[in-house]
Amino acid sequence: MSTAHEPTSHSPLLGVSHAWANMAGARWMLWLLVAAWFLEPALSAPYFVGKAQDWAYFNQHATSAWLSWTVYGQLPQWEPFSCGGLPAIGNLQGTPVGLTQLLAALFGLMPGQRIASFIFIVLGMEGGFRYARHRGAHGFGAITAGLLFGLSGRFVQLFHDGQPVFLSFELTPWALLCLEKGWRQWRYAVVGSLVMALLLLEGGAVPTPLVSVLLGFVALLRTAVVVVRRDPDDEAWWRPVATLALMAALTLGLTLWRVIPVAESLIAHPRVWHGEDTYSIGHVINMVFRRGARQGYTADGSSLVGMGAALLFSVALLARDKRAPWLLALTLACLDLATGRSEGIGLFPILKSLPVLENLRNPFRFGIFAGFFVAVGAGIGISVIEEHIVAALRAKMAHRWAAIVAGLATVVIAAAPAWQVAEFGHDRLQKVFIRQAPRHVIRPFRQSIGNRWVADVWPAQHRGSLSCFEEQPFFQAAGLRADRPHEEFLVDPEAGVAERSSWSPHRIVVDVQLKRPTRLLVNQNHHRAWGSDVGSVVRHEGHISKEPRIIGKKDGKGLIGIDLPAGKHRIELTFSDPWILFGLAVALLTLGLMAGLTWRHRATLRARP
């Protein structure tokens, strides 16, 4: 049931539809124009954000990373602007690297983020189109699938919730396409690993596990189909899982420099979630199919692809089209996962029982995938209708006119559901961007008491916010203070003087003149990756002279300390994580391996007679 249907030979009467599908330039223009119209409220006001708390949270991380990249020219390994200092690449929730950061570096922090959103929406539509074509939809059907998925309700809801970092969900069809094509040609697994790496490096905390689960499920389902069906035209039964394994291995190789620090921080500061989120199947169906007036994480329409899409999908099912059952199976599985319940098929509790996935939450997000398969199913439904129109017209008019009439009729049928979804999302986006993004000032860094509810204000003002929120209980030194006259100071002020010479997130230079050995302290959390060219870096555990005692007797506990000998020194304190450097080396090797495999594959093709 699940063989892909590459549309290679069709009736010439489907020519209008196919001409559209084959003209990449025309299709891309459509995506660009639609995305520009759809995101107009976001694109025309890049210096305004939404009011949801996560806007401030994610913008804080983005700003910190942007400062590292563009102001200081440093890879953002460490984030001094939050909680007294956090791992940046090692924070699963952070966005220090990825397409968005690249665009922010090129076009400015806020415009860059909006341009990234725009590109992800375009990629989502093209990905939806390509997957629908792969599954056998004709041109107009595939275009409708692309529109329905790329503009679907969840992507609009992400803007409401302040989570456009999760727009990398738009890459889902690309990952799936590469997996499914990889069953027959290994090179697609190579491309798929690039897609997954991009997804992981972007807003990895949520899309990566969910898309990985989807890919795993699809590979297992396909294996089952191949084993049960025993069709000689099918690939070997082990190919789906082997393709997935190759994709996973290459993705890991490409992203090890992020995965190792993230794993380290998750082990040291586990992200624990005991909450149980469950929704009735009716609730999930309303999220995917019903246009609701209210906003909210799980409100009606929050994953909208619409009733029109459902109707078109049901046309394909009622016509017993052989392209539909695979999509139906995946839709039902994703709807079940989105409920988070043990009733029904009960897949989500099974997922939660697996290692690593035990802290998975917000199952409603599987509604994105349910919506995607319905969108592709709608594309198949449109193709079925188109085929029937062509069959009916063939006997009644000249081929050319029949093709044009069939094309026009299909466009009319396809436009209604796509317009429903696009208009719904466009209207919702009008009310999002009402809070001014923080204004910037570059000045000497120091810690501030800050305020996590407006977390993005502080890095923009070159201040660290001690008041902070993270999903992981990251370490915060008890000795952090927002009122120190100097951020770098001696534990024994009588021992000499210390003066900052220069500061950047990963390199602090301090001039010290000491009468006797003492310890220099930095008003940031200690981390093993801090090193110094003079003396040795330690985690300060003692009291700080002449400071009021706050918590217990070890007020300075956890700050960065450097034990220094007497004398005059210029100390260069640097943050450099050897695991990140190791991971980057592995990524380069993996890229080299992938390039070599691709080159060899092309050479083999050329050598064939």
Partner 1 sequence: MTPTPTSSLQPAKLLAAVALALAAWIIGDVAAIEPPPPIETIGAQRYGLTKTVRRGLATELAKNEPRWRGFGKRKFSTKPWSAEDDYHWHVQAHIERKLAKRLKQPPSHIWALYDEIVAERWSATGLPNSVTHAAFSATVVPLRPRQR
Q: Site residues for partner 1, window 549-578 (CB under 8 A)?
A: 550
Instruction: Please give the structure tokens belonging to residue 402.
Output: 């029949």
CA angle 37/149/38 to nearest 5° reads 10
Task: Say whether 18 sits in a helix, a strand or coil.
Answer: helix
Which residue among 7, 41, 46, 136 contacts partner 1 (CB under 8 A)?
Answer: 46
Verify binding: residue 401, partner 1, rule CB under 8 A.
Answer: no
Which residue among 19, 245, 416, 585 contacts partner 1 (CB under 8 A)?
Answer: 19
List binders of partner 1 among 253-272 (CB under 8 A): 272
Q: CB nearer to partner 1: give 32 or 409.
A: 32
Q: CB nearer to partner 1: give 24 or 603.
A: 24
Q: CB nearer to partner 1: give 45 or 328.
A: 45
Which residue among 395, 412, 441, 603 contacts partner 1 (CB under 8 A)?
Answer: 441
* Beta carbons within 8 Å of 180's beta carbon, 6+ residues apart: 4, 134, 218, 222
Task: Say whether 376 sits in a helix, a strand or coil.
Answer: helix
List binders of partner 1 among 70-109 (CB under 8 A): 83, 107-108
According to DSSP, residue 548 is labeled: -
C-alpha 177: how far from chain center: 18
Which residue among 154, 428, 446, 506 contacts partner 1 (CB under 8 A)?
Answer: 446
Question: Cα–Cα distances in Å, from 11 out to 15, 251, 285, 399, 413?
Answer: 7, 40, 36, 10, 20
Which residue among 142, 165, 432, 468 contacts partner 1 (CB under 8 A)?
Answer: 468
Which residue among 307, 478, 509, 538 contacts partner 1 (CB under 8 A)?
Answer: 478
List binders of partner 1 among 145-204 (CB under 8 A): none
Q: Is 457 exposed, middle or buried (0-12, 13-18, 19+ CB in 10 A)?
A: buried
Verify binding: residue 449, partner 1, rule CB under 8 A.
Answer: yes
Closest of 112, 129, 100, 93 to residue 18, by C-alpha: 129
> How many CB atoms within 10 Å of residue 551?
9
Question: Cα–Cα distances in Å, from 591 out to 396, 401, 523?
Answer: 57, 51, 39
Verify binding: residue 115, partner 1, rule CB under 8 A.
Answer: yes
Q: CB 271 → partner 1: shortest distance, Å?
A: 8
Any idea which residue has 């989500």 for tokens? 348
One symbol per residue from 220 to 259: x for binding partner 1 (CB under 8 A), - otherwise; what is it?
----------------------------------------
Q: CB 96 → partner 1: shortest distance, Å?
A: 19
Question: Cα–Cα distances in Å, from 387 out to 67, 132, 249, 319, 384?
Answer: 55, 16, 42, 11, 5
- Binding piece for partner 1, criterion CB under 8 A, among 153-161, 258-266, 438-446, 581-589: 438-446
Q: CB nearer to partner 1: give 56 or 75.
A: 56
- Binding piece for partner 1, criterion CB under 8 A, among 68-76, 181-189, 367-375, 480-488: 480-488
Q: CB 83 → partner 1: shortest distance, Å?
A: 6
CA distance 302 to 295: 7
Which residue among 65, 432, 460, 508 contacts partner 1 (CB under 8 A)?
Answer: 460
